[in-house]
Amino acid sequence: MTRPRLVLLDRDGVLNRDRADYVKSPAELEMIPGSAAAVARLNAAGIAVALCTNQSAVGRGIIDAGMLERIHDRLRDELARAGARLDAIHACPDAPGQRSTHRKPAPGMLLDAMRRFRVAGHDATMVGDSLRDLEAALAAGAARVLVRTGHGAATQAAGLPPGLLPVAVHEDLAAAVDALLGAGR
């Protein structure tokens, strides 16, 4: 895998702990150890970082768009403490079952980010913890990385469909970033 120009990140299970009851407030956002420092390493390497996250809690009426923005403000603050930043945030509020070109596994958010940074699929890598993250990456032409945090271990244990391969698998975002940055040496 070559060093990407753009890294696309899922949120829940990659940057912060996934909650079965959704992250409903800034206080419920709990970072995965090492994830903010991993984003800082991508920033320092000159690689653009875009969040591409399904946030169906909005579409389900559990939280509103304003609360999602406050949660993302908290995420930005947590990242900034480690000297890290997101260059873009793409969040799809659609509920499951809604027709959507942006809710993963559809590639809309990834394609939007790739257009924004003028990056083709072969120069982008998606890091996620679910099959839908990998499917969206494949549809967008991006490289695929599965982390074992969040739902990643269960996703790997269930078996990755041959059509999605190759998929690099790493313990967490920090290990994935180690591999991505090592690829360009």
Percent of the chain clearing pLDDT 70 (strictly above): 98
Cβ contact 165:140 at 8 Å: no
Q: Answer whether residue 77 shows pLDDT above 50.
A: yes
- Residue 51 pairs in a beta bridge with 9, 89
Confidence band, pLDDT 50/70/90 cuts, at residue 1: low
In the chain, the domains with their CATH numbers are 6-182 (3.40.50.1000)
CA atoms of 72 and 12, how far apart (whole Å):
12
Rounded to an integer, what distance in angstroms lies between the CA atom of residue 33 and that of residue 35? 6
Instruction: Write out pLDDT tens, residues 80-100.
Output: 999 999 999 999 999 998 889
**Would residue 10 show up in a list of annotated catalytic residues for this protein?**
yes
Q: What tokens appear for 137 in the block? A: 């990456």
Check pLDDT > 90 for residue 185: no
Active-site hit among 12, 94, 129, 172: 12
Does residue 14 contact residue 149 with C-beta atoms inside 8 Å?
yes
pLDDT digits (tens, 9 = 90+) for 140-155: 999 999 999 999 999 9
